[in-house]
Every structure is written in C-alpha cells, then in structure tokens.
A and B are shown apart, each in its own frame.
Chain A
C-alpha cells in the first residue's frame, strides 16, 4: 500500500500562441491563452495510478493556481485520482519557483501520510524543472528526477530507472521520496467515461460561489454541504488554512523579479534570395565552395 500525492499544473498552451495573445506592450495576456493540463504532470499522475493499481493505496492530486485551475483537478478525477485539492489564494499570485515550492511543501505536509510525491519534470510555461527539487528540499526528503520507469516497490523502498546525461541509472530510493517524471515514462490513460459522468460536476468553493451569483452566504454554505454529501466538493487550501508566512508567498516570497520584458520583433532581414532551381542552388553552392564553407 502506497499513498501518492501528485503535483499538477495548469499551463498556458505556449505552443499554440496566436498573435492576439500578445498585448501591444509585448506582454502576454494570460487570460486569452488556452489553458491546458501540463503534459508531464499527467504522465506523473499516470505513474501514481499504476503504483496504486499494483500495490494498493491512494492517489491525491493537488494544484496551486487561480480558481480556474480546478479544471485540471476534475481531469485528475476523470483519470482516477481518489481526491484532489485546489491551493489558491490571491496572495499566491506572482510566485516564482521558490515561493511556489514553499506553498506546495506546506500543503503536502498538511495532507500528510505520503510515500510518494510525483510531479512532472517541468511545466511548459517556464521549462525550469525547479519546483520538484525545491519542494523535496523543503520536505527534507530525497528525490529522483528524470524518472523513466518504476521497476518495483516494496515496503519502504522503490527501484527506479532514471535518465542521466548520456544514459540511464537504476537507483534504489527510500520512502518517502519525490519523483519527477519525463514524458516518455508512460502514456497517460484516457479519461474514463464512467468517471466523467461521476465527477464532471465536482466544484470548488469558488466554482460554487460563482453559481450563487450574489445570493446570501448561507446559500453557498448549503451548496457546499450538498456537494460534500455527494462527494463532489473540491476543497481549497488558502494561505490562512495552511498557516503560511505571508512574507514567503507570492511576489513577496519570490527572490527573482522580472526586471524587463522585451517582445520579440522578428524582422525580415537582408538575406539573399536563392531561386529553388538547379541553377540557383548550383550558384549558391559554388559561392559557398569559393568561401571554403563547403568542400
């Protein structure tokens, strides 16, 4: 039996940025970007689910983000997560990886009783691969990054194949351990139709508040109770709930700051146009040979 906590993130789909998403001042209008489930985090969830299937236990997915990040928590439920938590507070806004790892590590401690923490190696909006190791350090537990495969697990140990520069290693890690997973590790399973039916109406507090639209607070309380009864309530951890130090959250808790942003202007440039003909290309090759660039 192993209990796993999986760190997941909703990310802007940076691979599909259209011109309109860039504001005139060159900054990114995040609100306009399609938000997606970071792929490697999905693979991490897949590995956690496989551990559960083989050895038993539970899988809990958590995400830190704005209220709309509850979208991917529902997707975690569709895939098979037993429980999910949204970690959300205005005071978390603008967090860099250090402030993020502080909040995540405290949320993990609050959930407690875990053998594995799984995360994708990196998220596509920053590609930093920092949050996993930073969180492990704060939890004071070992880590294995670039995990390719979980070979076996027993009582308090796990055997893992991980990527290294120029090859791979087989390592044995004591539990609890944090693992960051690369995309080749597994194909994430499709959402189960049965689970979609069961959980498509799962709601966080903010989701429910949106539904009450200005009605009394009591009404929201009643809704929350109703959703809890139906096992469709997604709990939210706020800063207060996690008893966090405000100085270590969000912009305040982030040592790195964005000093300058320049939008990239891709100019036409003065290249020589070569005709796509044997003559055109032949002349180019002659020129390159004369310049001793081609031999």
Chain B
C-alpha cells in the first residue's frame, strides 16, 4: 500500500447557513486524534456564503479548511454533496473522516464510503488512536471505533485495518467541543464548484424547518422516563415532575418506540448525549445504549420498581418503587421544601 495519509477530516454540516453543533464537537475530537497520530486536522465546508463558518473552524484547532461555495449548494442535496466529497476523498485519501450522525451525515457518509470503498462505522461513542496487533500483523496508529451493539449487550471495537480511509459517524453531544489552546493561522482553500447534470436528479420543492424548542444538551436538569412508565398517561407524571423542578423532559429509546415522547427527546447512543447537573431516570432499566448518553451526568437519581435494574449501577441515589407513587411523593416533597 502507498504511504498512508496523516490527515483527519471533519465534514462541517450547515443548515440555512448555520453550522451544526455536532460538527464542531467532532473538530475537537478530530484535533485530539490528529495530535495522537502526529497528523493534521482539516475541515470541509460545503454550502453557500459559508466563509464565516470556515473561519470559525479555526477556533477548534483546524490546520486547513476546504471550502466549496456556490448558490447551488445552499441546501444539502445528496448528489452534489456526495459527488464533491467523493472527488475530494479519492484525491487525497485522508486517513480519517468524521461525520455527524445526523440525517444529513447518515445520507452522505455511506455514499462516500461506498464510492471510495472505505470502512464506515456508525454511531461511535468513543474514538481513539492506538497501535495494535490484529491477526498477527502490526498496525500503527489505527482508529479504534467503539460502539455498543446488539441491543446493548456488547460493546464492539471496530477497526478498518487495511484501507487507506477510516470513516466514522458520531451523534450530537457525544464529544465535547472546546476552543483549541493554540489555534493555527487561518488557511482556507477554496475549490471551485463544477455543476453536473446528476446534481439535478433530486430537486427540493419545499422545505419546512423549525428551530427546535427542545434543548436537552443545555438543560441543567433532565427528567427522563422509560418503557417502565407503561402508558402515555403515566408518562405525563414525568412532564409534571420536570415542570415542577424546572427540568427538561427526555426518554429512553423504548419510550420513543412506544410513542410516549418524540424522537427529539431521546437520550442515548442513537439519541442525544447529555451531561446535566441532575438526571432523574424513571422506569428506565439502564441498557448500555441509554447509559452511553447520560452516565456523565453530575448526579443521577434512578427510580425503578425492579431493585436489580442495571440503572442503579451508575446512579448516585436510588429509589425502589412504582413511578406512579414515587413521582407524586417527589413533587409534594419538593413543593414542601420550597416553602
């Protein structure tokens, strides 16, 4: 194999000209990975009038940002975006590419992986660089892609040992963003957009988007409910408690699947990762995918009628009991203490 690249790339997603949080979180992670393998960090920004976003990437330690700017690229569309990424990746074979596991990232990353025959691992909860031995062969500075699998019964470490490019997607909030200690000088490389007839195979007729009013990541207190609540009616108690103590409502995947709450409120590997001051988990058994999204909360209270529920294993406080009794008790006690 030719000499491998030492570049880590992050695809910067933008919606209506606003960068997605997850992209900057990935820049912070990408910086660490690039440092650990003695490489460099590059951002790729595709859109219209995205120069400001390109400049912003340098706060997170980018060495170079590639920009493709054209009115035709204002909104994400599979064909032109994947065409551009395929060309860029085939030209430089970056060692690592990170995408946010958003609807856009999950639409784009597989096309790029398929075209460039690269390895792709979805929804990683941890990424690190390590030199390892695999099937008797030494590999230097490989990307270890760690993710829960199989209903959370196992945690798998996935590698892409023999291909030039390793691609991973990560959900919002899993990695933490912070400004780089020593940002590098701005170096923006603009690449001209050359349209192609295939870009027009799918046209956007209308777009409806609302700024989400739900802000799980920023909420200091989160009250989360699970399948154990049993009914949507009972789940209202979770809203009552959150309302009383000034928290945001969240839930496990099972609660989303059961229709108790919308997917935007899902905490866990395939939802949002949160780090609140207080996380109250009610009727949540504590499968690994859920824990991946909340175990770094400052304080965790678990309420569950099964004393053996795994959620107690990562909790600071545990209340064994039926949620329909415990929640009203909690609300009453809280109101009493406020007096």
Task: Tell me, yes or no, whether B3 is within 8 Å of chain A by CB.
Answer: no
List the A side residues contacting B152 at CB < 8 Å.
264
Given A26-B154, A256-B120, A274-B319, do A289 and B337 touch, yes or no (CB 8 Å)? Answer: yes
Determine which of A28, A138, A257, A276 lies in contact with B160 in the assembled complex, contact meaning CB atoms within 8 Å: A257
Task: Tell me, yes or no, whether A231 is within 8 Å of chain B by CB.
Answer: no
Task: Tell me, yes or no, whether A218 is within 8 Å of chain B by CB.
Answer: no
Given A137-B115, A256-B119, do A268 and B312 touch, yes or no (CB 8 Å)? Answer: yes
Q: How far is the CB of A145 from chain B (nearest CB, A)?
A: 5
User: Can you report 9 residue pairs joining A to B where beta carbons are below 8 Å apart?
Assistant: A26-B154, A101-B114, A130-B122, A170-B205, A171-B205, A259-B132, A262-B157, A271-B315, A275-B319
Query: Do A98 and B154 touch (CB < 8 A)?
Result: no
Query: Do B111 and A133 touch (CB < 8 A)?
Result: yes
Bound: A25/B320 CA distance, A: 32
Query: Do A98 and B113 touch (CB < 8 A)?
Result: yes
Query: B: which residues have CB within 8 A of A?
Result: 15, 20, 78-79, 82, 102-104, 106-111, 113-115, 117-123, 132, 134, 144-145, 148-163, 198, 201-212, 221, 245-246, 270, 277-278, 286, 288, 298-299, 301-302, 310, 312-321, 325-326, 329-330, 332-334, 336-337
Task: Tell me, yes or no, whether A214 is within 8 Å of chain B by CB.
Answer: no
Query: Do A127 and B288 touch (CB < 8 A)?
Result: no
Task: Tell me, yes or no, whether A126 is within 8 Å of chain B by CB.
Answer: yes
List the B side residues contacting A193 at CB < 8 Å.
none
Query: Do B337 and A14 touch (CB < 8 A)?
Result: no
Bitwise interface map of A from 250 to 280 toward B, beta carbon under 8 Å scored 1, else 0: 0000011111111110111101111111101
List the A side residues contacting B207 at CB < 8 Å.
164, 167, 169-170
- Measured as residues with beta carbon below 8 angstroms from the partner, the interface class of chain A is 35 or more
Query: Do B313 and A281 touch (CB < 8 A)?
Result: no
Query: Do A126 and B149 touch (CB < 8 A)?
Result: yes
Given A130-B110, A137-B115, A256-B119, do A288 and B103 touch, yes or no (CB 8 Å)? Answer: no
List the A side residues contacting B334 at CB < 8 Å.
285, 294
Other A-B contacts than A138-B114, A143-B202, A278-B329, 5 sampled, CB-CB below 8 A, are A130-B120, A134-B120, A136-B111, A169-B204, A272-B317
Task: Tell me, yes or no, whether A211 is within 8 Å of chain B by CB.
Answer: no
Bound: A142/B199 CA distance, A: 9
Query: Do B160 and A256 touch (CB < 8 A)?
Result: yes
List the A side residues contacting B288 at CB < 8 Å.
264, 266
List the B side residues contacting A259 at CB < 8 Å.
132, 134, 144, 157-159
Query: Do A258 and B329 touch (CB < 8 A)?
Result: no
Given A130-B113, A165-B103, A257-B161, do A264 and B123 touch, yes or no (CB 8 Å)? Answer: no
Query: Do B160 and A255 touch (CB < 8 A)?
Result: yes
Task: Tell me, yes or no, whether A291 is within 8 Å of chain B by CB.
Answer: yes
Query: Do B278 and A288 touch (CB < 8 A)?
Result: yes
Query: Do B111 and A142 touch (CB < 8 A)?
Result: no
Query: Do A173 and B201 touch (CB < 8 A)?
Result: yes
Bound: A226/B240 CA distance, A: 65
Task: Tell me, yes or no, whether A52 is within 8 Å of chain B by CB.
Answer: no
Query: A: which residues have CB within 8 A of B?
Result: 12, 14-15, 17, 21-22, 26-28, 96-98, 101, 125-138, 141-146, 159, 163-174, 177, 255-264, 266-269, 271-278, 280-282, 284-286, 288-289, 291, 293-295
Query: Do A143 and B302 touch (CB < 8 A)?
Result: no
Bound: A177/B201 CA distance, A: 9
Q: How far is the CB of B12 from chain A (nearest CB, A)?
A: 15
Query: Do B337 and A166 touch (CB < 8 A)?
Result: no
Bound: A12/B277 CA distance, A: 37
Query: Do A255 and B163 touch (CB < 8 A)?
Result: yes
Given A177-B202, A278-B329, do A133 and B110 touch, yes or no (CB 8 Å)? Answer: yes
Query: Do B205 and A159 touch (CB < 8 A)?
Result: yes
Q: How far is the CB of A28 from chain B (nearest CB, A)?
A: 5
Given A167-B210, A281-B319, do A98 and B159 touch, yes or no (CB 8 Å)? Answer: no
The 9 closest A-B pairs by CB, nearest first: A14-B151, A266-B310, A255-B119, A276-B321, A167-B209, A269-B313, A133-B110, A134-B114, A137-B114
Bound: A288/B316 CA distance, A: 11
